[in-house]
Chain A
Amino acid sequence: MSGLLPDQGSDAEPPGLPGFHAWRGLYLFVFGWFVLVVVLLAVFARHFS
């Protein structure tokens, strides 16, 4: 079954976006964006409460 592990070679093809050389960097960016959106939503709610 070890052949069915997530493919290590799948990260070989880079995202091809400026500033992102590896998928891990893009995932971190998406996670950071998510945290920022939640914080902004909380600030928005607080400002207009």
Chain B
Amino acid sequence: MNLADWVVFLGTLGSIAAYGSWRTHQIRSLNTYLKGRQSTGWVTIGLSVMATQASAITFLSLPGQGFESGIGFVQNYFGLPLALIIVSSVFLPMYRRFGVYTAYEFLGRRFDWKTRLLGAGLFLLQRGFSAGITIYAPAIILSTMLGWRLDLIIVFIGFLVIVYTVTGGSEAVSLTQKWQMVVIFVGMVAAFIVLLVELPVGLGFDDAAHVAGALGKLQAVDLSIDPSRRYTLWTGLLGGLFLALSYFGTDQSQVQRYLGGDSLRESRLGLMFNALLKIPMQFLILLLGALLFVFYQFERPPVFFNQSEWQHYAQGPEGGVFRALENRYVVAVADNETAIRAWLQTRASHESAEEPIARASMIEANRRAAAIRSEAKAALLAADPRAKTKDSDYVFVTFILAKLPHGLIGLLIAVIFAAALNSLAAELTALSTTTTIDFWRYFRPLAAADEARNVRVARRFTALWGLAAIAFALLAGFAENLIEAVNIVGSIFYGVVLGIFLVAFFFRRVGGGEVFVAALAAQALVITMFLSLNIGYLWYNLIGCAACIAFSLLLQTVLGPPAPADPGRAA
């Protein structure tokens, strides 16, 4: 990065953060601090919901996913529009009708205080850990690629977010997210255009897409019912629906984004905005990755994209093995390029008899090059079993640093940082709101009348959660598998929380006592299964939800009509 990049990078991030702090520094109302201004329109709500979900790792990993496995991952989002329709028509009217600050406050109204605290506690546990990962995951990649100190990146992201979230709360989050999303859209479109321009002379989008398609990168919809396939239309519709329903309907970091606003109409339109745009947006990011794959068929790529990791081991005692792999890869990539050009030639000249042979040669040449990449990863593991062998997250940032003009590099690095700030800001305000409303105000009901004190407390909790996230991100470097552990912890608890909410909305005869016991039993079942069985952890979302609903209905049948809710404290 040169001076122009630094000016664009710091200017973009600094001005948005300063704007958010300046516009919201006079907020004294708890309602505005936790929900945002009543005048918030649906475009701001929609962009805020979108920005909260799109973390920095989305813009680093998704192009890498498209590069490595193709665009089939887009099917994971197929359940999202359906989930948003359910949230908009069932969840949202209830939240707004009761005027709650948090989704868990609603559980208190519908059931009782202990179910509310259980839901809020599970959210804090899960989201508290993941806030640290929201900082750490992009920081480790940027640190590796840019040569910046990891701890400084973590502290920079953390403190920048703390400044404007503590100052302006949810209002500052919505304001800054809107402008950060503008920066993200501009940056990604610019990167897409540069990528198309950088393709070899004579290779337009149509040819590039045909190359990607022929090499299996554009399989967008898979109708297979084979359960071993990870991404299909069916897993996307079923798994994606449950995942999106629990995330958008019960996770306070999302619920808080759409609870603000002038009316139910604004919130609903904000959600429908996402239902319409999310799949096309994810498709375009994945397509960018698939086109990067084509780009690197003609531009000799490194055998392993995380060059810092590769060079670390290549300079060790096994260096000869690594250099031999590099040399073999150069030859394989050259053969691959020749085969692709030969296939494109047969397509252009309409030699229908030659085309299948040329296509088979191209696929085989590509397979040989890919096999050497696999060997390279195996060599890393042989050199050190703890070596990081996933390099797809480094593909897009490698392209940014190598091919984008100065100025635009600064903008794209700002895009990645902006995405990290967006997600983290929403997480911190959600954690702070839940701690303030569901715990602090619950256990100190007399303090609820003092509005100024409530705002002060919410600000302190925001700062404390921000510091906790920074500390967790700094410690995450000492335990690499912590990231996966956080995902597993999330899946273990998410399903049960969704089950509680679905019982609340759809099974009106079930009371607080039953659902509380059912949730604990379902949680115990999920934890027991996790400790004793070897199944994919994403399944626990479905199992936890189904078990919670089934146990609730069973208990309700056995125990009879519910006791009335405790409206006094729970409200």
Contacts and interface: CB of A to CB of B under 8 A. Distances in A.
B74 A41 contact: yes
Contact of A26 (B233, B272, B509, B511): B272
B80 to A, nearest CB: 9
Given A13-B265, A38-B78, A49-B213, A31 B85 contact: yes
B206 to A, nearest CB: 9
Contact of B97 (A7, A42, A47, A49): A7
A15 B268 CA distance: 8
Greatest chain B CB density within 10 A among A7, A13, A34 is at A34
Interface in B73-90: 74, 78, 81-82, 84-85, 88-90
Interface string A13-49: 1111100000100110011011001100110110111
B275 A34 contact: yes
Nearest to B562: A1
Interface string B238-273: 000000000000000000000000011100110010
B54 interface: no
A35 to B, nearest CB: 10
A17 to B, nearest CB: 8
B85 A6 contact: no
Nearest to B236: A38
B99 interface: no
Contacts of B276: 30, 33
B265 A15 contact: yes
Interface in B215-241: 218-221, 233
A47 to B, nearest CB: 8
Contacts of B110: 1, 4
Given A10-B93, A30-B276, A45 B221 contact: yes
A27 B74 CA distance: 22
A41 B219 CA distance: 9
A34 B276 CA distance: 7
A1 B146 CA distance: 57
B221 A42 contact: yes
B283 interface: yes
Contacts of B97: 7, 10
Contact of A48 (B84, B212, B264, B511): B212
Greatest chain A CB density within 10 A among B97, B110, B220, B509 is at B220
Contacts of B88: 23, 27
A5 to B, nearest CB: 6
A42 B221 CA distance: 6
Interface string B358-372: 000000000000000
A26 B32 CA distance: 29
Contacts of B85: 27, 30-31
B39 to A, nearest CB: 16
A31 to B, nearest CB: 7
Interface in B265-306: 265, 268-269, 272, 275-276, 279-280, 283
B218 A45 contact: yes
Contacts of B263: 13
Contact of B264 (A2, A4, A13, A31): A13
Interface of B: 74, 78, 81-82, 84-85, 88-90, 93-94, 96-97, 109-110, 209-210, 212-214, 218-221, 233, 263-265, 268-269, 272, 275-276, 279-280, 283, 504-505, 508-509, 511, 562
Nearest 10 A/B pairs, CB to CB? A48-B213, A10-B93, A41-B220, A1-B508, A45-B220, A42-B221, A34-B81, A7-B93, A48-B209, A49-B213
